[in-house]
Chains A and B, each alone.
Chain A
Amino acid sequence: MALMKGASFVCRALEAEGVDYIFGYPGGAIMPFYDAIVGAKFKHILARHEQGAAFAANGYARASGRVGVCVATSGPGTTNLVTGIADAFMDSVPMVAITGQVRSHLIGTDAFQEVDIFGITLPIVKHSFLVRNVNDLPTVMRDAFRIARTGRPGPVLVDIPRDIQEAEADLKLLPRDLEVERPPAPSKESVDKAVQLLKESRKPVVYAGGGVGMANAIEEFRGFIQATQIPTVHTLKGLGTLPYNDPLFLGMLGMHGFKQSNLAVQECDLLICIGARFDDRATGVLAKFAPNAKVIHMDVDCSEVGKLRKAEAGIAGDIRPALKAMSFPLPQIAAWREECLKNKQAYAWKYNAPGDGVYVPAMLKELADRADDKTIITCDVGQHQMWVAQHYGFRRPEHHLTSGGSGAMGFGLPAAIGAALSRPDCRVICVSGDGSIMMNIQEMATLKRYNIPVKILLVDNQALGMVRQWQELFFAKKYSEIDLSDNPDFVRLSEAFGIPAFFLRERKDVPRAIDRLLNERGPLLAHVSIEQAENVWPLVPPAKSNAEMVIGDHNK
């Protein structure tokens, strides 16, 4: 019998899972683990804040499809992970968060750096463990990774008291049970019903979400669209499921969706929702969403089917065989398809904003046109995030890393770090705003330390732009706490971190800036100054249906 410390076993379990990077920050209650990782097969990336570590693990997982791992000590270390864990929960990202806890006998005594992170995170994890016995570690570690990546992925918390990390026991790795990890096949009755609805439909629309990519169903999805020739709209997280240059790609739907997308949904007679969840940003007023449509709802998570909208056919489980069964020609929809494609042409964005200043939609379109197939874009949250979704054309969903459900400012830069490490074959560009970048600016130090070749495209309007836009449109231009005109000099700030940077303001300088972003080695920051008055259009006002969108100034 070979005894092993709990902390050493956790390291061996991570190695056995094939983990190559973990992201964390040490502290008192997690010190045995940090002692054990010296010489481990995986590399530890020292973030400069635990939130940065959580978002980096999150970005690592989103870009690669593998489980991301973050580590923190007890108390404030764990609470700093919370936003990253919540983000992973909202966007179904496979992640394992390992946290140190005070010694078992101190739990519940308000000990130094004791926080009930198990209780705090209950609503934002797929599952969680508080390890009470060192002999439970083999089961806990195997199950944590299985639960994180199986079915609808999500974050799992493993909280390990310090004495459990230090305890010795005869601990052996448990094998993975691949059968348990396979999603169940959908019922034949549900697929037959969907086939019948497709045959009866004259005006179908596919509404595709992030669940398609997560189910590894891109090939089957594209085969389904190719066979049926159904016009397709995407959620924020579904972008790239169908390549942006596919004729049947109508664009994003919802609050900042394109007119042709929202019109198609409002007028369709059959809505085929695949890996999406009728999120309020996509539907607007739910009761007025796709008012004339029957619904086929396909999702690996059966609890999503019918949660918010009745489904005439609900297909729960592995969507791939169902998509194959539904892939046949629909000659009766030709006129409808032509109508949708005409609308797509009529409402195509014109990129004709007046003036000499940088026009972000045009800059992002040029960036997409010139970047190759192996470019990953991470975003922060706000106006720039919506411009990326609307105007950067994606070819794969895992090339678009955005905080969709939780909308967490500060996501972009650390997520880019994780993405760059998990996909060294890809170029990674973080598009951020002047509000968002400051929320995790400390991770510039992480970029520098590990010389991670992330490019940052910082769009600066010296304001919290999306809040400003809403105050302009819906709060009678009464601007409240959105001014960021005292921003630091971002070029000098970047250089202080040891990262080269440059500034641009004029439209004519955009091609050269993109040259640098695409071609220079190592990390780089481009600081782009834009007009504050530039807003995101189209926009569906609050409490309105998607049919009542406002188009804005430049695209009339």
Chain B
Amino acid sequence: MFLRVVWASLRRQGFRLGAAVAAMVLGSSLFAALLNLSFDAGGKAGRELRAYGANVLLFPREELRGPSAGLEALGVAVEDAGIPESSLGSLDGVDGIVGFAPYLYSVVEVAGQAVVAAGIDFDRLKGVSPWWKIDGRWPEERAEGLVGVSAAQSLGLASGSHVWLRYGESTSEADVAGIVETGGPEDGQLFFPLPLIQRLTGRQGQVGLVQVSVLSRTGSLQAVAGEIARRLPGVRVRMLDQFAQADEIILGKIRLLLGLVAGLVLIVAALTVGSTMFAEVLYRKDEIGLMKALGATRKRVAAFFLVEGMSIGILGGVVGYGAGLGAAALIGQHVFGAALVPSSLGFPATAALALGVAAATSLLPVRRVLAMEPSVTLRGE
């Protein structure tokens, strides 16, 4: 009988029910959209931030010696020590690593001038430093490289130039595929395929530095650094704290903003549903008076309205969640250029909130009417 009454009541409410459900759908959809955004936007924004360079550097554990030591301060590790290239494969399985690029720096002679030349894996470099501006093209052949814009000027090189590299008694030759401009120390350096520099310097299978790009989430950078240190005991892990902190501050602010807007939306939805339910309960106070006159306890009467309110909450929550997912996907596509991944918490959180808001906003007016005597409400007062 209980459900029969609730169903009959919901069926006949028409416009008023529609208004309450619409308010709940609106509130839930915005809440669901913002919730999913706040969960996934962190990841998306983190990936965007990773386009600005690596935030973790790996060095050989051995101390650098001699004249090369000063280069470390510039983020350059030279030939005194090395990390086995074969050990880097274990980085691929670390959760949170977006990409990494091994470097082998060396001071070589080009056209009679000493310059810093780095051996790098260009494919991996593109993942870690996609912001490098190349005039020309990325190297594709085994003997092609890039030249920093300042180095190109001082050495008189351009795209398509042919260069001879000398290291002690060894020499190699390569073509210049493009001129790179980063605004950093790279502008004064030369970049060639890793095997070419390894062969030239006689350090086959060695790298001197690895730049790692880690997706920032609160506290995640520390954890990833720890995992790297565990997997590669022979390396020193250095986090670029400014980058890490900036990432986390930006992500924190995005989440806070989304959370505040979601909270505000929820308050507005609660007020709308509350006022609708309040009007509904006042409209039906005769009915409440009659139920009490027929011997219904306060709890039983309240249960009818509570379940009606919760039905509005469930309906509004489910429809609103679907609409919110759609909205989040649209926002994700337009802002981040990729669809958002729905959070597993999204549906239960939205449904629970919609239910809670509907129940709470239904109970408040019901409590007020329940306090009235049936003899009064039945008189129409």
Partners in one complex: no
Identify the A interface with B (CB < 8 A): none
* Chain B interface (Cβ < 8 Å from any Cβ of A): none
